[in-house]
Amino acid sequence: MAWSQSRTEQGVRNSSTAPVWTFDRDTRPRRPALPGDTSADVAVVGAGFTGLWAAYYLLKEQPDLKVVLLEREHAGFGASGRNGGWCSSIFPVSLDRVRKLYTHRAALDLQRAMNETVDEVGRVVADEAIDCDFAAEGFVSLARTPAQFARAKATVYSAKTFGVESQWQLLNAEQAQAKINAEGVLGGIHTSHCALLHPGKLVRGLAARVEGLGATVYEDTEVTGMGKGRVETARGTVTARVVVRATEAFTPQFAAYRRHVAPLYSLVVATEPIPDAVRRDAGLNSRLAFNDMRHLRIYAHPTAAGRLVFGGRGAPYHFGSKVSPVFDADAGIHNKIIKTMHEFFPALADVGVSHRWGGPLGVPRDWFPSVGYDAGSGVAWAGPYVGDGVATSNLAGRILRNLITGRSDELNRLPVVNHTSPRWETEPFRWVGVNAGLKAAAAADLEERLTNKPSKVSALLEKLTGAH
């Protein structure tokens, strides 16, 4: 046991702070920065998944469009290159909350669209020959306490009564352990509507494909302002008929949008390649996304390279919606994530941790992602996605195509279209409220461990936010 501890500590100490997805990154130099004033039909601020998907679908629809993407760092620098690799049909707001805000039909349509989006991403990467380790084996949420199993059963029952009975399948302990052989599994729920992928490979492949379609991606180009008909940078101004804001967690850095989004940090670790025997015993030789049903969310998956990626929430919100590379690493939170991973799989204490990283994700005040376009000003936007953006950004890209080109499509009637979220409170109330919410989620998990019953604190949180 002493060797295991030493091995783990050495792996943590020597781990990279870059995402594992950049480990095999090509050595291509940065794309050129904006050389000066220019014009375009569409100027996209941000070259992450949202901006790239929007450019892709716009150019597929109208190949003669002049599309320019402006990126402060490099394509995929933000959440698109830092996430946990899930392309899932999860929407951050419960279907019941969508029903209350809109209609029951709208909620059903939204879930169907999210399910179909997973398939759409798979179709595009196949058609465009983007090798991003795409594997559509689904997602299992394990129940590892009696309270979690009670909520698992309630989830399946609620889905059935709501009208999406095929969304979730209830698993008993044996069925759940056959999928992921973690410690203490009592059961779980499974959905087929989830795929795993290598986000770094996807964002690089998508950027290259967009350029092949005629778009120009300018890197190292910081946008200082945007509005009707123009995007301002330190290197020049882009005039455009349409401006797309695709800035996710970095949105509050623009004064006009300071209270639109709260950036929260999610932190992740990746192991060294796991020995085959250990992977087999732990049920990690599949490409299945998984977590357990705790309230302070975790997420994990076995990569195509034989590693385990394991991430979680819990890092504090920083006053004034501050975003900084300094926050990408937090030894205390990373160590808690590693401890949780070892609680799931004790045998991994003998496997080194090669990467520890993090990054901000964007959260609107009501946790409800949105996509919109104001034809009068020519300004469009999409996000933020509350950490569920790998798939939702693809859906947003198709909706942006429709709204900008005037294409008639049933997607245009989804409740995310032109949804208006309330603004976040001013500081210090925002700082107090967001961090109190994070502590409440942790308290809900503790409550369930002590009582073996679904948390009353969590029920109150879901009632207040609609998040699930």
Q: Binning pLDDT at 50, 70 and 90, where does residue 460 land? A: low
Are 44 and 53 spatial neighbours (Cβ–Cβ below 8 Å)? no
Are 455 and 146 spatial neighbours (Cβ–Cβ below 8 Å)? no
Cα 241–Cα 247–Cα 249 angle in degrees, nearest 5: 160
Rounded to two decimals, the pTM is 0.94
Residue 21: which of 202, 208, 275 has the closest Cα? 202
**Does CATH number 3.40.50.1470 belong to domain 31-134+197-259+369-424?**
no
Mean pLDDT of 318-343: 96
Q: What is the pLDDT of residue 7?
A: 40
Are 85 and 199 spatial neighbours (Cβ–Cβ below 8 Å)? yes
Q: Residues 373-431: pLDDT tens digits?
A: 999 999 999 999 999 999 999 999 999 999 999 999 999 999 999 999 999 999 999 99
Q: Residues 165-181: pLDDT tens digits?
A: 999 999 999 999 999 99
Q: Is the peptide bond before 346 cis (omega within 30 degrees of 0)?
A: no
Share of the chain above pLDDT 90, in %: 87
Q: What is the pLDDT of residue 23?
A: 60
Q: What is the pLDDT of residue 445?
A: 83
Are 198 and 133 spatial neighbours (Cβ–Cβ below 8 Å)? yes
Rg (CA), the chain: 21
Residue 187: which of 199, 195, 196, 178 has the closest Cα? 178
More confident of the two residues 463 and 220: 220
Q: Residues 253-264: pLDDT tens digits?
A: 999 999 999 999
Q: What is the pLDDT of residue 338?
A: 98
Residue 69: which of 397, 311, 291 has the closest Cα? 397
Q: Which residue has the tokens 């069925």?
A: 175
More confident of the two residues 443 and 73: 73
Residue 384: which of 90, 172, 79 has the closest Cα? 79
Residue 268 gets the label, from left (phi > 0), alpha (psi -120 to 50) or beta, of beta
Mean pLDDT of 66-84: 97
Mean pLDDT of 102-118: 98
List, in sequence order, the alpha helices (H) in 260-388. 276-282, 331-344
Are 80 and 56 spatial neighbours (Cβ–Cβ below 8 Å)? no
Q: What is the pLDDT of residue 463?
A: 63
Q: What is the pLDDT of residue 13?
A: 46
